[in-house]
Structure 1
């Protein structure tokens, strides 16, 4: 993230005043190579709870795909929390969870990240993969065990 007000960049929530392009590229490359400090289990449980709230508030059937942005809005409902946990950070966390293969909650519910028609209705989250490709996410669903 570029902070034009004080000529700095923010990488992993750390401000760096070294804005020379080669230095920024090196810092981004190093950050990308580091293993993320990411707790898959806690994140998928939070997603499942937020998903349940979205399903209930829209009177949808359990297992239906909902927009990831609706889930993000539930997770950031507290004032200022969307500023602290941005959409790009949420997209990155979804990508990390997707890549981890950890798709089952403690209660045995299986998460899926369908794109389908949700990508056409706007609200797509985009992140960059480890190999530099763009990856889009639009929806999420949780299937009950045995369903």
Structure 2
């Protein structure tokens, strides 16, 4: 039987996870572990994390390795603003849970802006420290320029 409180907790975690990726011009340098330490299982030997927005399409087998994929780009980034577009949808049972949601984002780099729509699926494992991500799969579609005008906030 599913514990509704677990489903609610996972839904809240997944939504908060999206906004961990927010960046504003002038933010402190992006530190993956500091930002996402409460979300990922940094100690698990069986983590698999993938995001097709990574140009090299790498699969990370540790949370630290996943952070090393994203830290350079997020340190260079001018801003990143997100809106949850659909979900989250959660299934939870005992010590494992899965959640899916879709978000849109505007990513601004020094050389230009990209609008995206991403579907993200996370698998969570209950640990002594709470629910932690052990599987991640993100599929991203680049949207036409300006597609998110009026959808996302501008500035801090």
TM-score (norm 1): 0.24
Greater helix fraction, Structure 1 or Structure 2: 1
Q: TM-score normalized by structure 2? A: 0.23
